[in-house]
A and B are shown apart, each in its own frame.
Chain A
């Protein structure tokens, strides 16, 4: 016996294993970031004063649009596979990877700017929240880039042998990527604008 429903959906649940798995994983991620956002709310409402305007809003906004753009290219990467256009798929996936890279480079400039001004996590509760939450989000970006690199490199061979399973993998990666994007869409106003 082989493990069933790796590629096809199970009739009564309408899902293949990988899709259910990634949604459950995202549910757990919601709880992780939910706990961090709750901590932020508790700390901020209990604070005597809260700094405003310490972050570079323009860089943050640029990063927001970069991530939204990368979500679009991610969907296109999956849609091209469904249209059987593997070349375009690779182009879009490379695009997503590059945009993720640009996001991290921007983030590096932001961090470096703060560090040179001596604004370390131990400086204030605001900076502690800022470094921890954007840091964990950054790690999620790096994780997504590792998966994309695999799907562009050795993982791409699967397209020739099991194309349906390969597009399932791209779909799951996409769902994760949209989640990472969504977290940033919450982080940007919470840290930069409020």
Chain B
């Protein structure tokens, strides 16, 4: 990270010309316990990327057990130890740990920190013309609490009994009685409390920053779409996470203090009655969990949509189609996401009235999603598109998110959800939304804003290899899951469902295809990793506005110094004034005054 800053400072001698005095901070204050939103953003992004890679590695190990059940794992099998994989053959218990932690790590430690903590922190203050976030100390605290949460989750693999193994949803009563006297699930709950606290501090900071620190002239309808997406996301994090914190505390009480919040009366496990006072309600956990976890889906998706919007406007050299509609759709989406949660629970025996309510709201929430996607798609109409590396990823987001979204509709209706529930169809559906959808958009964002963070551009050839390889492989990973799911293959099977009659033939063979595609997919991430680090040092030096973009962040030096802007930015027009008839060039930045 220090290399980024030093090379950037060399590229921009004028970054020192601040209007106020320049404080020299020591190494620890500048790069480790920094209060600068740009450094914190990069810390979040790098930590998030490391966790994404870690979570992906867990999946690569799981995929071996599914493709080649009861055969020793090559290369690393002998390193896993007797409690996880005796003789290199994976134990079902260890598979369950990997499964629970893959989901937890990807969602809470990978994608959200990268999308909100990383891009939100780095880009939002720059795009609204602010010198920093509203509360820099809180911002630092938010990162370090997240880091503690990450360490807690990681350490839980190495305690006796291993990590949490009740799925990323931690459904009670299984999660309460699992691993009795052992720490795995308890550490998961403690880790979640850390992560929730971190996101609370972050979301307060984001909302205050966006409401209070907008530059002169930056009215609400001149905000870049990305900022709108982050604002709605922050509200979701602020209001949806506390119920899970409450649920986490209650489950912690159940595990540690022996209470029965989620333990029903008369529970018998393995022919032995469970010794608790009883009277609890296991469904309560599901309600509290999904009250967070459905808005969480939009926490994953909205920043991605924001990034894609920025990149599409920039590379089509046209205004976004229907900017106002996009803004209203995002706000409506955020509101609706609070009242759809029980569509995850059609199998719990809820009454038809409740089920009809949640089916209706679920169908309603698909409308703003489709509006956003359609507006982004229509933005391409008649444009002479620049196929830059960020644009490749942004373009791929559209069909991938569309597949993910449309395959969700049958899951939102109880009659079709009931046979598909807990099958690979569900896994395929939400991974299309999050992996080739959101994560592709996040890659797009990294390629797009890398020049702002470092003053250098990432390599386009490596970028193209990364894109095309990932695009092909990731579709071979997730497309077959729809077939497996329709054939009735259940999720959470450590042997891939070897013993079930309905899986024989094609569904089981597809496990091998998916496995191969996953491992190949990992190879196509190597060009990205090389590109990321090599471009910091040897990437092509570029100007402050290499993409000829219109939003405010491109008026700051690359990388921006402490306080971001050399002069106080003033906004003169809307965010996407590309190809304005009669203008001298094909982009009219927000920060350039009208010339007479």
Contact = CB atoms under 8 A, between A and B. Distances in A.
B277 interface: yes
Interface in A21-35: 21, 24-25, 27-29, 31-35
Nearest to A5: B212
A1 B20 contact: yes
B134 interface: yes
A146 interface: no
User: Could you say which of A27, A29, A121, A136 has the most chain B C-beta atoms within 10 Å of its C-beta?
Assistant: A121
B239 A10 contact: no
Given A123-B277, A132-B250, A28 B242 contact: yes
A106 interface: no
Interface in B132-147: 132, 134-136
B221 interface: no
A17 B243 contact: no
Interface string B274-309: 001111110010001001000000000000000000
Given A3-B213, A27-B238, A46 B281 contact: yes
Interface stretch (B256-264, B314-322, B468-476, B519-527): B256-264
A31 B243 contact: yes
User: Could you say which of A24, A47, A121 has the most chain B C-beta atoms within 10 Å of its C-beta?
Assistant: A24
Contacts of A2: 20, 131, 563
B245 interface: yes
Interface residues of B, number: 47
A158 B101 CA distance: 46
A24 B279 contact: no
Interface size class of chain A, counting residues whose CB lies under 8 Å from the partner chain: 35 or more
Interface string A34-49: 1110010011001110
A24 to B, nearest CB: 5
A122 interface: yes
Contacts of B568: 1
Interface residues of A: mostly helix, strand, loop or mixed? helix
Interface in B232-272: 238-243, 245-247, 249-250, 253, 257-261
A27 B130 CA distance: 25
Interface string B178-214: 0000000000000000000000100111011001110
Contact of A20 (B200, B211, B288, B291): B211
A36 B246 contact: yes
Interface of B: 19-20, 130-132, 134-136, 200, 203-205, 207-208, 211-213, 238-243, 245-247, 249-250, 253, 257-261, 276-281, 284, 288, 291, 563-565, 568
